[in-house]
Amino acid sequence: MANDDISLTVEPGEIHALLGENGAGKSTLMNVLYGLLQPDEGEILVDDKPVQIRGPRDAIAAGIGMVHQHFMLVPVFTVAENVMLGAEQTTGGPIGFLDRRRARKLVREVSDRYRLAVDPDRTVEDLPVGVQQRVEIVKALTREVDLLILDEPTAVLTPQETEDLLEIMRTLKAAGKSIVFITHKLKEVKAIADRITVIRRGRTVGTAPPDTSEEELASLMVGRSVLLRVDKGASEAGAAVLDVAGFAVNDDRGHRAVDGVDLTVRAGEVLGIAGVQGNGQTELIEAIMGLRPVVAGTATLDGRPMHGLSTREILRAGVGYVPEDRSVDGLVKDFTVAENLVLDIYNTEPYGTRWVVRPEAIAESARARIEQFDVRTDASGQATVGTLSGGNQQKVIVAREFSRPLKLFIAAQPTRGVDVGSIEFIHRQIVHERGEGTAVLLVSSELDEVLALADRVAVMYRGRVIAVVSPDTPREEIGLLMAGVTTDDPATARTGSEDD
Amino acid sequence: MTEQTTASAEDLAAAGADQLPPPRTFAGRFLASMWTANTVTVTVLAVLLALVIGGILIAISDEAVRATFSYFFSRPSDFFTLSWDKVSDAYAQLFKGSIVDPATVQAAVNGTGPWERVFFPISETLTYAAPLALTGLAFAVAFRGGLFNIGVQGQAIMGAVGAAIAGFLLPLPVGIHLVVALVFGAAFGGMYGFVPGFLKARTGAHEVITTIMLNYVALFFLGWLIVQKGIQDPERSDAISKPVDDSAQLTHLLGFLGPSLRVNLGIVVAILVVAAIAWLLRRSTFGFELRAVGLNPEASRTAGIGVGSTYVMVMTVAGALAGLGGATIVLGTAVSLTGAVIGGVGFDGLLVGLLGRAKPWGVFFAALLFGALSAGGNRMQSFSGISLELVGVIQALIVIFVAAPALVKTVFRLRPAKVSGLGTGMSKGW
């Protein structure tokens, strides 16, 4: 049960924040409102009248619109075509020519009225993410909705784009629209919300005014007080472990994704890579791990070149790796927890040899590691990994990688979609590993996570490291760097390499 | 199989707690689990459903039955009696032809008939089942490794060629000759499986395309080969190869009871290989890699498993299994290569592999079922005058119902079992 006895009231012209950890049931609740899921009990009232919402069509008819976390846009269509999709207007009677002109006019009108700055003739795939999101908003507004649900709208935005979005939300509010703003980011909630409803484990745990402190909101969210900052001592950085020079890597479509990156990660330090998703971080890391061909440049591990090494050789040389997408790259979901815990060492003693694997030895070590890493599953490790929650799946990966002696630990989005309790645990593990003298390379699109863990922060923008700064640098400045705006102050910023 | 049954019984007890009181006795729980949509139940019901539809087809394809249609509304009983007679006779013959004919047992006990007749049906069933189990495994192993091996037929043809060539060209002593011929069969099939595996690993060529095309290459290569000098039987003018030496033939297990009992060492080979593959998947390093790559190639690659080399190995092993299947035919029953020496045993292997849900022992039982249908179908044809093609229709229907478990669940209103994985397994290859 994802939702259990939840009540929520949204007033006209109100921005109502729905706050909760991942998996608390926020999205489930909103999917019920939008008709994607049916409630087992309870009712929905619009303007004090009960309504039945059996699907998105009913929801739109009742004046409820939704902008999903993952955009529902056809990339090769223009903005106008996307907006008219599902509500096509035709001319020419029974023959039915699409009335593109009317759709364009409608987009322009809505865009002007709410200052959204969306051009109806641009192809969606050419637009930046922030603009694509505005297309989704336009889509909802052209359906004449009064209540707009925004599901984690800022997850994919730069700090500047987030600012723009908050401004748009204020404009919409001024025009009398109500907004439900789903998020787990406390700062944004405090910046914009009129009222805050906190959800935990499928129940409403309280409604708070926006002047509630962040600490209070966080403890409401988690149900206990949480360390928002990670306790860590000063780093005792040693010799360079990973040295990347002049790296160039292509993405899946053959476009240059990493374009001349130089990086050094030293023993006992955490180098955090900040940046909006899709600026080459994924490709950079995959190339280091030998999962993607390197077009130009070199990487050395402890001074030995990594060029030509297979992924297995790199892992066996003492590199731990938490991939960005755990369900695709991290785990074999239909394997048991025990099997996943040895996915990279199943053919080494004591788990197996070149020829045979030893299920008993694998199960035995699984028991120990499930306990050590507090994985919430059947203690024998014989449950299928796919049945675990996101946080526990991630702990399985972390447990696997930390159970070998490491020189270098690479973590991409290690806490994405993970509950707060597991985030704390994973962060402590990373800090502990740093204390053991491991070099840590951390990639995260959550700036807070980078700032909390990193000893140095490299900002990536369009395939380059445009600056390496201290984590004490003001957020606004890092935010500007993430948007590609470099300062000329040599003390805090250093431009990336230019050899392409 | 028993494991699955008990597992779903427990699940039912857990899942159905809010709807029904859980059955208390073991028998009650067992029956309840039989009525949930677990693998075994769905398979059994799929067979049943296919037999029912087959029965309808038998009835309406009979002229006498069709004649009753003209006066159906005045005397419907004629239609029902005739249909019932026809269908029950047909299925009785199917049983007598595949398992045992009670009349022959009685005769043998009374001393009026030979024991050979008693064992004939089961001998035929096992004879058909042996190569099917091997070709079924050839599909199943590739399927578990995430590959759709449509090339079982071609690999089996190459296996038959390899085994036959070793069988009549190499002058070797008894015992060794048979082993060498089997190894040749596996090696030829394995090499023929290696090709699509290698192409997939190196160039990304989809194995479905390459294996289908290689089936044609193998078929026409066989057609060419058997009319070449040194291969073709010099005493024959038609396209047939020399017979395999006696020393390379699979021993007939029940030969002492009579010459018509064809069941041979092939079934022993099949059982040993099924057991070996079951072990390989479960306990070997290669099996671990195969299963990991089959379930999630991306995660396997990220964990350092060589996905390409695993594909090559998987296809080589699959090809060797298919080749062994072809070898058991040419060394056990056919003796000489002809253009259609292996019949459709490779393509039937795909069905057996699917019906057995790509699990080694499941494949073995599926092969027994298909072998029984083939053996019984022969008798049904000669005693009831029902064409052998109808058996093919029933086999196809069984696989369709197994591949569409939702259909069976709806027809029989089964309760959903938590351990299902039914629908997903079949479509995973694509």
For B274-293, the pLDDT digits (tens) are: 999 999 999 999 999 999 99
Helix (H) or strand (E) holding A49: strand A49-51
For A50-107, the pLDDT digits (tens) are: 888 888 888 888 888 888 877 888 989 999 888 888 777 777 777 777 778 888 888 8
Give residue ranges of A with CB < 8 Å to any B CB: 289, 291, 310-316, 321, 323, 328-335, 339, 343-344, 346-347, 352-357, 359
Q: Are residues B240 and B325 in the same domain?
A: yes
Position B429 confidence tier, pLDDT thresholds 50, 70, 90: very low
Contact B120/B184 with Cβ under 8 angstroms? no
Domain boundary among B355, B375, B394: B355
Res B157: pLDDT: 98
**Residue B223 confidence (pLDDT) above 80:** yes
pTM of the model: 0.79
**Rounded Cα distance, A43 and A53, in Å:** 10
Average of per-residue pLDDT values in chain B = 87
**Residue B423 confidence (pLDDT) above 50:** no
Q: Which residue has the tokens 């608390």?
A: A24
**Residue B29 confidence (pLDDT) above 80:** no
Lowest mean pLDDT among A389-403, B30-44, B105-119, B369-383: B30-44
Res B35: pLDDT: 60
Quickly count: other Cβ atoms within 10 Å of residue B382's Cβ: 12
Q: Are residues B200 and B278 in the same domain?
A: yes
ipTM for the whole complex: 0.82
Domain boundary among B304, B333, B355: B355
Res A99: pLDDT: 79
* Tally of residues, chain B: 430
Of the two residues A86 and A332, the one the predictor is more confident about is A332
Of B251, B389, B277, the residue nearest B332 (C-alpha): B251
Record: contact A357-B306, CB cut-off 8 A: no
Res B25: pLDDT: 65
Tally the domains of chain B: 2
A313, A315, A328 ranked by CB distance to B299: nearest: A328
Q: Are residues B326 and B394 in the same domain?
A: no
For residue B122, tell me if it sits in a domain.
no
Res A263: pLDDT: 94
Q: Are residues B224 and B165 in the same domain?
A: yes
Of B321, B324, B286, B328, the residue nearest B306 (C-alpha): B286
Q: Are residues B90 and B16 in the same domain?
A: yes
A311, A313, A314 ranked by CB distance to B301: nearest: A311
Q: Are residues B332 and B225 in the same domain?
A: yes
Record: contact A344-B298, CB cut-off 8 A: no
Contact A351/A358 with Cβ under 8 angstroms? yes
- Segments forming the whole domain that contains residue B44: 1-97+386-424
B281 CB neighbours in chain A (<8 A) are none
Does residue B285 belong to the interface with chain A, where contact is any CB pair within 8 Å? yes
Q: Are residues B205 and B288 in the same domain?
A: yes
CA distances from B321 to B9, B44, B346 (A): 35, 27, 11
Q: Are residues B192 and B47 in the same domain?
A: no
Q: Are residues B270 and B157 in the same domain?
A: yes
Q: Are residues B171 and B216 in the same domain?
A: yes
Lowest mean pLDDT among A222-231, A267-276, A321-330, A475-484: A222-231
For A141-197, the pLDDT digits (tens) are: 888 888 999 988 887 777 778 888 899 999 999 988 999 988 877 778 888 899 998
Of B142, B178, B170, B168, the residue nearest B319 (C-alpha): B142
Position A2 confidence tier, pLDDT thresholds 50, 70, 90: low
Res B30: pLDDT: 62
Position A11 confidence tier, pLDDT thresholds 50, 70, 90: confident
Res A423: pLDDT: 85
For residue B232, tell me if it sits in a domain.
yes
Helix, strand, coil percent content, chain A, rounded in steps of 5: 35, 20, 45
Q: Which residue has the tokens 């984590």?
A: A471
For residue B364, tell me if it sits in a domain.
no
A383 CB neighbours in chain B (<8 A) are none
Which residues are registered as beta bridge partners of A196?
A17, A208
DSSP, collapsed to helix, strand or coil, labels residue B232 as: strand
Q: Using CB atoms within 10 A of its CB, is residue A169 exposed (0-12), middle (13-18) or buried (19+)? A: buried
Q: Are residues B140 and B212 in the same domain?
A: yes
For residue B115, tell me if it sits in a domain.
no
Structure tokens at A268: 């006992």
Does residue B282 belong to the interface with chain A, where contact is any CB pair within 8 Å? yes
Q: Are residues B82 and B204 in the same domain?
A: no
Q: How many percent of chain A have pLDDT more than 90?
A: 37
For residue B114, tell me if it sits in a domain.
no
Contact B6/B33 with Cβ under 8 angstroms? yes
**Residue B7 confidence (pLDDT) above 70:** no
